[in-house]
Each structure stands twice: as C-alpha cells, then as structure tokens.
Amino acid sequence: MVPAIDIFIRTYFRDFRWLELSLLSIIKFVEGFRRIIIVMPPSSLERLRGSEIPASAQAVVLTCQEYSDDYIGQQVTKLSADLFTDAPLIAHIDSDCIFRVPCSLPALLTKNGRPIIRILRRSRRPAGDGWRRCIADFHSEPLPFDPLVSLPIIYPSSLYRELRTECCDRHGVTLDQWVLSRRIDAMSEFGLMAGQAWFKRRDDFYWVSADDEVGWPCFQYWSRSPKATEMQAELSRVFGRRS
C-alpha cells in the first residue's frame, strides 16, 4: 500500500492566476493524493481573493516566512515542505504546472511503495551549470546525471530532515542559511534533494531515466513568459473559466 501523498505548491501573488489553472487541472485530471498544501508569504495571502482557489480543490492554505528575494525564498520553503504537512510522501508542483491528461500520482511517482526519481543521463545542462554545480558544492561530489526533470517530483518527508542535518554537519550552518547565501543561478532545491537521496539512501528509491520519456501528464509553463496572458486565456477556455 502506498503511503499518503500530499501535493505541495509554493506560490506568491504574481502567480495566482496560474495557481487557479493548476488547481483546476488537478481537480479534473489527478487522483491518488490526500490533500493540496498551498504555501505563500503573508504579503501574498493579503492579496488572495479566494476565487483563485476553487472550493472543490479542498486545499489547505498556509503561510511561510517573507524573503527579500522570493526566487531563493521559495526554494527555502520547498526544502522545508515536511514542516507544513504530516504526509509520508510529498509531491511538488509549481503554480504554472498544468495537468493535461488523467493520472494517478501513486502510479506515476511510486513503484512497490518506493518513490521514483526520474533523471536525465543526456542533460542539456553542462556539468558546470550553476543548478548542477550546487549539488557538488553541497555534497562534495557531482551527480552522474541531471536530476532536474519536469514536475511533479516526489520525496519522502524524512529526506527533508536528513538534508537539514547533513547541511549542519557538513557546512556548519543551517540549510536555510546555506541556500540564502547562493546566487539565484547557482541553486537548485530539487538538485540538493536528489543528491541526498543518491548519496545517502540510493536503494530506497527507483531511479528511472526520463531521457526518452513521452506522454508525461504534467506540462510546465513559464509563468514569466511574454506570452503568459495568451497561454492563460487558452487554458481558461480548456477548463471553462473566464480569462
């Protein structure tokens, strides 16, 4: 039996329109999860009208710390996802992730009760890329693959605690401090998590190549795209919402 899965979304006010569309796609297409946990800074919660979160999503809205640079701040929050939910497994998506076909999260993200970590052996990012380099900076050696694949990504709640302990033991600072000291082009929260899984708990996961993957049910848009409004209007029509 697969342990309970919660979906975790870290968002902020500029992505509220994307958030609504993402939630509508989850309602329409996704099954096999317990709850949706939506986390945002207090300043964003003040701007939330409520209509961006459909009632049928049955989502829980929580607040996190404010950060001067929320691009880095949202990564700090994701690395503390286990503090916002008691679910044994946590599935991450972003506000601009839209599901387009039906799927079951347990079938998509687990196998025989173990989380699946998808990887790229033919990465378009060179080994010196900042998002990949941060893994070696943290874990003292690089991963032999690129772990930065399309969402959703799933981890057990225990892995977050272990990564925080690893940071204190290895670097002498908290994980929050380590992450906040990085440049935005040299930090990947999911890279650090994949590194912790590979170097410390490799046999607890299934490692699956996504190089030739087809039919992945979740499409990740770029919320800052110049065509974002146009894309949102198209998706609104798909989900029967006024744009």
- The reply to whether 149 falls in a domain is yes
More confident residue, 222 or 43: 43
Partners of 39 in beta bridges: 10, 62
Question: What pLDDT score does 124 carry?
Answer: 82
pLDDT > 60? residue 174: yes
Task: State the average pLDDT over residues 227-238.
Answer: 66
From residue 190, give the alpha-carbon distance in Å to each of 2, 47, 144, 152, 163. Answer: 22, 28, 15, 11, 11
Name every residue whose Cβ is closer than 8 Å to that of residue 41 and which is 6 or more positions away in sequence. 12, 63, 64, 65, 66, 67, 70, 73
What pTM does this model have?
0.93
- The reply to whether 153 falls in a domain is yes
- The reply to whether 168 falls in a domain is yes
Q: pLDDT tens for residues 99-123? A: 999 999 999 999 998 999 999 999 8
- The reply to whether 32 falls in a domain is yes
Confidence of residue 212 (pLDDT cuts 50, 70, 90): very high
Task: State the average pLDDT over residues 189-215.
Answer: 97
- The reply to whether 122 falls in a domain is yes
In the block, residue with structure tokens 């929260």: 189
Buried b (16+ CB within 10 A) or exposed e, 127-158: eebbbbbbbeebbeeebebbbbbebbbbbbbe
Range of the domain at 124: 5-238
Task: State the average pLDDT over residues 162-189.
Answer: 97
Give the chain's domain count: 1
43: nearest Cα among 12, 83, 68, 16: 12
pLDDT > 90? residue 229: no
- The reply to whether 243 falls in a domain is no
Q: pLDDT tens for residues 49-82? A: 887 898 888 899 999 999 999 999 999 999 999 9
Amino acid at the residue 66: E
Within 10 angstroms of residue 110's Cβ, the number of other Cβ atoms is: 21
Q: Are 77 and 39 in contact (CB under 8 A)?
A: yes
- The reply to whether 73 falls in a domain is yes
- The reply to whether 177 falls in a domain is yes
Question: What pLDDT score does 182 carry?
Answer: 96
Q: Residue 213 maps to which CATH number?
A: 3.90.550.10
**Distance between start and end Cα atoms, the chain:** 41
